[in-house]
Amino acid sequence: MSIIEVQNLSKQFSYYKKEVGLKSSIKNLFHREALYKQAVKDVSFTVEQGEIVGFLGPNGAGKTTTLKMLSGIIYPTGGNATVLGYKPWERKKAFKQQFSIVMGQKNQLWWDLPANESLNLNRCIYEVSDQDFKMTVEELSELLDVKELLKIQVRRLSLGERMKMELIAALLHKPKVIFLDEPTIGLDLLSQKKIREFFKYYNQQNKVTIVLTSHYMNDIVDLCKRTIIINEGAVVYDGELAKINAMFDATKIVKVTLSQTVSDADLLQYGVIKNVDGLEVTLEIEKEQAKHNIKSMLDHLPILDFTLEDTPIEEGIAAIYQHGRKQA
C-alpha cells in the first residue's frame, strides 16, 4: 500500500538581485529585479508502507524542499501529493499526529532546559497519555543509551547526544511516517553507526515508513534498498540502490600491496592509477580485462597482497548526477 504518493510536485521561489552600495539600496526601494528559481520540477514517486527510501542529490538539488512540502512546512506551486491519505499543506491535526520530520541542522528541543522538559512539552502538544509517554521515553532512551542524560540541560550535551534526544522527541507520538533530513550530519562515526542501528531496529519493529536524505553513503547503504536521486529539482533515478553501479560499472578497483616500489610506467600497463601511498597502490581496471590483468600483475609485479572491489557506489551516483537524465 502506498503511504506517500507524489505527482508532478513543483516548487518555485522568487528572490531579488541587489548590487553592492548605497546607490543600489536606494534604487531597490523603487525597483527590484525579480529572479526565480525552480527548486523542484515535476517530481513524481510513491513510497510503500514500511519502506526506507534514500532520497539523494547534490547540494541545492531540491531534497529538503521536497521533504518540507511533504511535511506541510511549505506549499507547492504545482502538482499534488498525499501522505497517509492527507494533503500535507492542509496541515490537518490528524495528519500532524502521524508523521515526524527530523532535520539535522534544526533543533526542536529547548536549549536551556533539560531534555525531559522539552519531551514533556511535546507530550502535551501531541496529546500523548502519561502512561504511553513514560513507556515510550523509557524504551527509546534505553535503545539510544541516553537514559542517564534526560535531566541534563540540552546545551550541555554533545552533538551526538542532542541528536538522540531529538530523535526521541520526534518519535514520542509514534509516527507512521518519518522524514529524516541529514540526521547524522556532524556526528562521529560511532554515533552515526548507533543511529543507523537504531532506525534499522525501529523500522523492523514498528513498520514505519522512512524517507532519508544524507550525504553519508554509509547511512544510505546500511538502511536503504531503494533510492530516489534528484538533481536540479528533477528525479533522475528511482530504483534499487544495488543496481546503480550496474548502469555505469565498466571497471573494477584493484588494491595491491607491493614488496618494493614499482614505476608508474609499469603500473599503467594494467590500468589507471587512482592512488599511490608508499607501497599501497590502487588501480582502476577495465572489467573485461580484470582477470587477465590481475594474473599478469601477479606474474610480473612484486605483489604481497591484493583485493578486487567493485567501483564505489558514490561514483555510480556521481555518474547519475553528471548524466542528469531519468534512469529506470
Distance of alpha carbon 116 from alpha carbon 141, whole angstroms? 11
Residues 60/130, Cβ–Cβ less than 8 Å: no
CA 266/CA 138 separation, integer angstroms: 62
Higher pLDDT, 320 or 308: 308
Per-residue confidence band for 90, with pLDDT thresholds at 50, 70 and 90: very high
- Among 106-115, 167-176, 245-254, which range has the highest average pLDDT? 167-176
pLDDT band at 245 (very low <50, low <70, confident <90, very high): low
Half-sphere CA count of 42, side-chain side, radius 13 A: 2
**Structural domains for the chain:** 2-245 (3.40.50.300), 250-310 (3.30.70.980)
- Give the Cα separation of 318 and 249 in Å (integer): 12
Return mean pLDDT, the chain. Answer: 87
Query: Is the per-residue pLDDT at 324 higher than 70?
Result: no
E strand map for 109-164: none
pLDDT at 104: 79
Q: pLDDT at residue 296 above 80?
A: yes
Q: How many CB atoms lie within 10 A of CB 5?
A: 14
Query: Does the pLDDT value for residue 164 go beyond 50?
Result: yes
Query: pLDDT value at position 114?
Result: 93
Residue 328's pLDDT band, with cuts at 50, 70 and 90, is very low
Listed in sequence order, the residues at least 6 apart from 92 whose beta carbon sits closer than 8 Å to its beta carbon are 86
According to the model, what pLDDT value does residue 188 have? 86
Q: Which of 23-27, 190-194, 240-244, 316-320 has the lowest mean pLDDT?
A: 316-320
CB atoms within 10 A of CB 175: 21
Q: Give the model confidence (pLDDT) of 17-52 as tens digits.
A: 777 777 777 777 777 778 888 999 999 999 999 999
Query: Is-contact 70 211, C-beta < 8 A?
Result: yes
Query: 26 vs 233, which has greater pLDDT?
Result: 233
**For residue 260, what is its C-alpha cell?**
618494493
C-alpha cell at 280: 599501497
Can you tell me which residue has the cell 507524489? 6
